[in-house]
Structure 1
Amino acid sequence: MFQYIIRRLLIAIPVLLGVTIFNFFIINLAPGNPVDMFVNPNMSAADILAKKEALGLNDPLWEQYGRWMGSMLQGDFGYSFATYEPVLDNIAARIGPTLLLMGTALIIAYLIAIPVGILSATKQYSFIDYLTTTFSFFGISIPNFFLGLGAIYVFGIVFPIFPTGGMTTLGSSGGFVDTFMHLVLPAMVLGTAIAGSMVRYVRSSMLEVLGQDYLRTARAKGLREFFVNNKHALRNALIPIVTIIGLEIPLLIGGAVVTEQIFQWPGLGQLTIQSIGSRDYPMLMALNFIAAFTVLFSNLLTDLMYSVVDPRIKYN
């Protein structure tokens, strides 16, 4: 197991290197540059050139990348072109709200999807199955921005129950209750979208297992249907489900760009939009690097979880 982990970590190094090279050149090939955000009628052409020189934008791209890589290897992601603050400080201030929002949304999604998917599989072709299938298609088909705007209209305007923007009420000291009220709408919107696809995976995985001979044996021994479905069948249906859960882990860091923007949630998703608008190259590079690292880590964690779910799987 240890050798397998070391081997996967070594493979991840060139992958991360390739991702950073690709991202760096793609970001720099986009129209415009950070200096365009500072241009005003009082700036002369000489001032613009001096600003580019100060930011190192006149250097060749390979030189800029080498400078960024050298700093990154020392744990320094540079300074934001937009705020002139350390990049890591900006990310550290945003990662907490993103983890809170995405963690809550994933918990909501799994609490809905796993029992609903099991129920749909055990009641195949019944009214309940058709109802859960409709819910699944509803969650998959409706875009997050449309569902978010609908939630704002219903629960923020027609029935003003929940706040519709930010993480705390302006002018207040915040607190658990205030944060919870702001969290409800974006978490439910994201949780519904994730649960919609998860229900289909849980249902299909359970259907593959429910017809197996060992379940007939368990029923013949007199085990209650609840234990047959939720202990024996679910355990063997977990491998495809674990794969899907592993693919959702990067959302904890990457955030939900659209949903965070709609609800003005101060997370990494909103920071990504702001950084794109301001051509903040150091911030975008750091966000992309963290996202790539999280994807690779979640893939490794998913592979290791296979051996926990299914003892027959061994990594030598």
Structure 2
Amino acid sequence: MLDYTIRRLLIALPVLLGVTLLNFFIIYMAPGDPVDLYANPDVTEADKLVRREALGLDAPLIVQYVKWLGRLLIGDLGTSFSSFQPVSHMIVERLGATLLLMGAALLIAYLIAIPLGILSAVKQYSWLDYVASTGSFLGVSVPSFFLGLGVIYLFGVTFGILPTGGMNTIGQEGELIDTLKHLILPALTLGTSIAGGMVRYVRASVLEVLNQDYLRTARAKGLPEWKVINKHTLKNALIPIITVAGLDIPMLIGGAVVTETVFQWSGMGQLTIQSILSRDYPALMGINLVAAVSVLLSNLWADLMYAFVDPRIKYN
């Protein structure tokens, strides 16, 4: 297992290199110029050239990429064009908030989706199955920004029972209960699309296992239904579920950008939007690097979990 993990990490290095190269050229070739953000009516073209040279934008793109890669090898993600802070510090400040939001969204999604998917499969073609299937399609179909605005209007404006944005109430920074209240709506919004897709996969996976001969044998031996489901069905249905769980990380990263913007949650998603609007190339490269590493690690985690769930799977 250790040898396999090391090989996968070594294979991921050229993949990560290719991702950073592609991201670098896409970001730097996008319309707009960071120097224009510093411009005012009194700025001359000569002043702009001096500013471009100070930011390192006067060199060819491949030279800029090699310099960025060289700094990355020593742990330097560069300096923000807009705030002039180290990009690594900006990411560290925002990463905790995003991890909290993503973790809460996953928890909500799986606590809803896994039991509901199992019940939907066990009670196939019942009213519960139809309700769960309809709800899962709605969860996947409704855009995050629309759902976010809807829950804000319902729980924040109409009933006034939950805060509509931010991470803390002014004067209550650092209080756990206050943070959890602010977390409920964005986590619910972000977790809904994950739960919608997961219900369908859990239902399909459990249905496939329920039709196997060894489960009929277990029932014929007199095992109670709850033991048949919990002991024999779930473990064998976990392989496809783990695959989908590994794919949820990229969806969470993309969904966090919209959700954090709607709810003014001070995380990586909001930082992404701010960096795009300010054409902050170093910050965008740092954010994309973190996202790429997260996706590669989530895929590795899914592969390792296969062997943990199913002892028949061996990585030699």
Cα distance in structure 2, aligned partners of 1:137 and 1:183:
24
Equivalent position of 2:275 in the other structure? 275
Equivalent position of 1:155 in the other structure? 155
Pairing of 1:298-313 with structure 2 (within 5 A): 298-313=298-313
Equivalent position of 1:243 in the other structure? 243
Native 8 Å contact 1:95 1:253 kept in 2: no
Amino acid at match of 1:78: G
Pairing of 1:171-210 with structure 2 (within 5 A): 171-210=171-210
- CA-CA distance at 1:297 after TM superposition: 1.1
Equivalent position of 1:130 in the other structure? 130
| 1:177 counterpart SS class | helix
Amino acid at match of 2:75: G
Amino acid at match of 2:114: I
Residue-by-residue CA offset, 1:254-278 (whole Å, 9 max, x unaligned): 6611111000000101101111111
- CA-CA distance at 1:251 after TM superposition: 5.5
Equivalent position of 1:15 in the other structure? 15
Is 2:266 the counterpart of 1:261? Answer: no
Equivalent position of 1:44 in the other structure? 44
Identity in percent: 66
Cα distance in structure 2, aligned partners of 1:188 and 1:2:
37
Native 8 Å contact 1:98 1:255 kept in 2: no
Equivalent position of 1:100 in the other structure? 100
Cα distance in structure 1, aligned partners of 2:79 and 2:40:
22
Equivalent position of 2:118 in the other structure? 118
- CA-CA distance at 1:80 after TM superposition: 0.5
- CA-CA distance at 1:46 after TM superposition: 1.6
What stretches of structure 1 of length at least 5 have no aligned partner?
A: none
Cα distance in structure 2, aligned partners of 1:64 and 1:171:
44
- How many residue pairs match? The answer is 316
Supply the RMSD in Å over aligned alpha carbons: 1.2
Cα distance in structure 2, aligned partners of 1:202 and 1:232:
15
Native 8 Å contact 1:98 1:252 kept in 2: no
Residues 66, 78 of structure 1: CA spacing in aligned structure 2 closer, same or farther, 3 A cutoff? same
TM-score of the pair, normalised by structure 1: 0.97
Residue-by-residue CA offset, 1:172-203 (whole Å, 9 max, x unaligned): 33401110110011111112221011000000
Cα distance in structure 2, aligned partners of 1:90 and 1:32:
23
Equivalent position of 2:315 in the other structure? 315
- CA-CA distance at 1:247 after TM superposition: 1.4
Equivalent position of 2:142 in the other structure? 142
Native 8 Å contact 1:56 1:64 kept in 2: yes
| 1:313 counterpart SS class | coil
Equivalent position of 1:293 in the other structure? 293
Amino acid at match of 1:213: D
TM-score of the pair, normalised by structure 2: 0.97
Native 8 Å contact 1:102 1:251 kept in 2: no
